[in-house]
Structure 1
Amino acid sequence: MTDGVVAKLSTLDRFLPLWIGAAMVLGLLAGDWIPGLDTALNAVAIDGISLPIAIGLLVMMYPVLAKVRYDKLDSVTGDRKLLWSSLVLNWLIGPALMFALAWVFLPDLPEYRTGLIIVGLARCIAMVIIWNDLACGDREAAAVLVALNSVFQVIAFGALGWFYLSVLPGWLGLPQTDLAVSGWQIVKSVLIFLGIPLLAGYLSRRIGERTKGRDWYESKFLPRIGPVALYGLLFTIVILFALQGNQIASRPLDVVRIALPLLAYFAVMWAGSYAFGAALGLNYERTTTLAFTAAGNNFELAIAVAIATFGATSGQALAGVVGPLIEVPVLVALVYVSLALRKRFTPKPAESERMRS
């Protein structure tokens, strides 16, 4: 990342890896040292959705979605290269890659392997919003691609779970697994983790611009709520790590085994998607958005499905939980890699005029 980019970052943004590391350690220590904390946090749930995690994600996503210029979305929906690339990467390449890595790295651990395959099927609709924004990706493109992923998630998640856990292993002569997935569970995940902050962000911009004007909204209102997204992110990380601090501390070698294919997955998906976007001639903003939306996963849905199908203490659930524990530091690092690669793109005048708050 260039010095010019660093100089424009706030103290919170500039030292984000440090704050995230501290949040991870705080969560792990709290989960390991405070008896019954994980049980208490899991008990605070509404219809199977962890309330503290839901609150953290909603607080994290709202400011970013409030920044989206919804009147510019047609410029994204008209970009067929971007849309088709995202669909192929998310729904063909991503699940197939996770299936292959799970079998290569965990041939002797069927519970963890199944958990990882479920993570690969759950395409990201939440946390990717903030990674994209930190990397100065295209906000409008991110909103469209996340919405597209949501639609396909409702339609395809159950069918892909059946294919990758039952049909394909049968064809390959491998052990098969059944996955009971409720369609309502998927719809609920989409409505809560995308629908609520998307509606709030849209209404904020519409009402704010109508009453005070766009200049006030973008120069006064957005800078005030901007830091809230990172506070929500840090809170979510603390809760996530606290929920599994005891399990992680008691099974460190298992966590390492699960982490290896995840590291490979995030690296290959992000780098491959980034290179693909650049080869298609997409600009920096949309290449970045394509890479992060392809590399991220909907860990909320993956964990919920694993717990509902196999139980809260199952290996499948642990694999689902390790997903965000690896995804968070890896994608934070990739934010900085992306910013460092920014200088390789030649910005067009219309693209370079947008300043990030």
Structure 2
Amino acid sequence: MSTATHDSPTAPAVVGRLSHLDRFLPLWIGLAMAVGLLLGRLVPGLDSALDAVTVGGISLPIAIGLLIMMYPVLAKVRYDRLGTVTGDRRLLVSSLVLNWLVGPALMFALAWIFLADQPAYRTGLIIVGLARCIAMVIIWNDLAGGDREAAAVLVALNSVFQVVAFGLLGWFYLAVLPGWLGLSGTGLAVSGADLAGNVLIFLGIPLLAGYLTRRLGERARGRDWYETRLLPRIGPAALYGLLFTIVILFALQGDAITGRPLDVARIALPLLVYFAVMWAGSYLLGRAVGLGYARTTTLAFTAAGNNFELAIAVAIGTFGVTSGQALAGVVGPLIEVPVLVGLVYVSRWARHRLFPTTAARS
């Protein structure tokens, strides 16, 4: 993608900078959901066919789809630039606090507030809150005029930290904290080892593959070739993998979705609140600590975005492909994508009002 300009573009200009695949991503997701629903109703015995071969408790077609959609986005990360951001203590500390303390805690609270009587959906939302952004947020950050290198570094840090912390945090928020707070009705027996195992498979494998692809590709042909020739070729595979996975998930979730549309709406509501609160709060925090527009924008988008691919993978691996937890994960991208695209425009609008000095120089 081209470097984001620092003037405030119109909505068509921002959308026009996306590829056709990314520009209509909400539409593709909606179509994939519709195709999945039709397959679930028209193809008998689909459940048995998908479960014939499993990997880590997940049907092989879904496992392949999940790995395919994770790999390209991790191949885009600049793993050699950790030092460009780690020296900015304000940005680094703010990001770590927002991503690994505030974000999971906020989603936990919203899940219990909105879905106290739906333990499966509640658990799915909590998993989404634990899956911090690792890739697609770079697109939104770039369009909003954020600091591209800072976004890449924060994404890399989240990727590594996620492998280490996801299982422990999942065990804490799903099995320990509800008991401490006297919350009942969870009906959970969550193993931190099981969660960590699924993270290692569906994040660790594509993370290693992405790192090696960049390292070996740049060594063999150079960075310019890697960035301008290879990445555009493999990038669309992430969307194809996501859409394929959504088709299969909705084929297996068809009865639950069509039979309980109000449940889908109930899952969507706390997600909307979460994205709005996390983005606005992070944006105001960045301004308060004096980060400037570019890094404030990066902080806001990396804190608000979630790795719904990982959330779906963990929900399927831990609770099953037809579980309510998996359904909550699938609803995630349907809400997150249009919301974060809208926040690109909000960020551009807020720049001239909250950062007048920076805007004057552009």
TM (norm. structure 1) is 0.80
Deviation digits for residues 219-278 of structure 1 (CA, Å, limit 9, x no counterpart): 222222222222222222222222211221223333333433333333333433344344
Contact 1:131 1:331 in 2 (8 A): no
Distance change >3 Å, CA 51–CA 143, structure 1 → 2: farther
Q: Could you tell me how far 1:43 is from its partner in structure 2?
A: 4.1
Partner residue of 1:122? 130
Deviation digits for residues 162-217 of structure 1 (CA, Å, limit 9, x no counterpart): 3332111x2xxx42546323333122222222211121111112112222122222
Matched, 1:160 2:173: yes
Matched, 1:276 2:289: no
Partner residue of 2:162? 149
Partner residue of 2:331? 326
Partner residue of 1:20? 29
Distance change >3 Å, CA 120–CA 55, structure 1 → 2: closer
Q: Could you tell me how far 1:112 is from its partner in structure 2?
A: 4.1
Query: 1:302 and 1:277 mapped to 2: Cα distance?
Result: 32
Q: AA paired with 1:99?
A: F
Equivalent in 328, 338, 341 of residue 336 of structure 1: 341
Contact 2:286 2:295 in 1 (8 A): no
Distance change >3 Å, CA 135–CA 26, structure 1 → 2: farther
Q: AA paired with 2:261?
A: P
Q: AA paired with 1:72?
A: R
Query: 1:34 and 1:80 mapped to 2: Cα distance?
Result: 55
Contact 1:135 1:338 in 2 (8 A): no
Distance change >3 Å, CA 82–CA 302, structure 1 → 2: farther
Structure 1 alignment gaps of length 5 or more: 353-357
Contact 1:166 1:177 in 2 (8 A): no
Structure 2 alignment gaps of length 5 or more: 1-8, 143-147
Q: Count residues in correspondence.
A: 334
Deviation digits for residues 305-331 of structure 1 (CA, Å, limit 9, x no counterpart): 344xxxx76xxx31x123233211221
Q: Could you tell me how far 1:55 is from its partner in structure 2?
A: 1.9
Task: Please give the residue correspondences for 1:212-251 in structure 2 after superposition, counting only pairs within 5 Å.
Answer: 212-251=221-260
Equivalent in 99, 109, 114 of residue 105 of structure 1: 114
Query: 1:335 and 1:120 mapped to 2: Cα distance?
Result: 16
Query: 1:112 and 1:216 mapped to 2: Cα distance?
Result: 46
Partner residue of 1:355? none
Q: Could you tell me how far 1:333 is from its partner in structure 2?
A: 0.8
Contact 1:99 1:164 in 2 (8 A): no
Query: 2:299 and 2:242 mapped to 1: Cα distance?
Result: 19
Structure 1 residues 112-121 or 231-240, which shifts more? 112-121
Partner residue of 1:133? 139
Contact 1:119 1:302 in 2 (8 A): yes
Contact 2:282 2:299 in 1 (8 A): no
Matched, 1:302 2:315: yes
Distance change >3 Å, CA 157–CA 242, structure 1 → 2: same
Distance change >3 Å, CA 141–CA 214, structure 1 → 2: same
Query: 1:235 and 1:113 mapped to 2: Cα distance?
Result: 22
Q: Could you tell me how far 1:97 is from its partner in structure 2?
A: 2.6
Equivalent in 195, 200, 207 of residue 186 of structure 1: 195
Q: AA paired with 2:175?
A: W
Contact 1:263 1:326 in 2 (8 A): no
Query: 1:249 and 1:79 mapped to 2: Cα distance?
Result: 49
Q: Could you tell me how far 1:23 is from its partner in structure 2?
A: 1.3
Contact 1:31 1:243 in 2 (8 A): yes
Deviation digits for residues 97-146 of structure 1 (CA, Å, limit 9, x no counterpart): 33333333334x25346535643563336xx5224335436233212123
Distance change >3 Å, CA 232–CA 40, structure 1 → 2: same
Task: Please give the residue correspondences for 1:84-95 in structure 2 after superposition, counting only pairs within 5 Å.
Answer: 84-95=93-104
Percentage of pairs with the same residue: 52
RMSD value, Cα:
3.1
Contact 2:159 2:207 in 1 (8 A): no
Query: 1:152 and 1:252 mapped to 2: Cα distance?
Result: 34
Query: 1:117 and 1:300 mapped to 2: Cα distance?
Result: 13
Distance change >3 Å, CA 323–CA 267, structure 1 → 2: farther
Contact 2:141 2:298 in 1 (8 A): yes
Query: 1:47 and 1:113 mapped to 2: Cα distance?
Result: 22
Q: AA paired with 1:333?
A: P
Contact 2:287 2:293 in 1 (8 A): yes
Q: Could you tell me how far 1:161 is from its partner in structure 2?
A: 2.5
What SS class does the counterpart of residue 190 from structure 2 fall into? coil
Q: AA paired with 2:64?
A: I
Query: 1:321 and 1:22 mapped to 2: Cα distance?
Result: 19
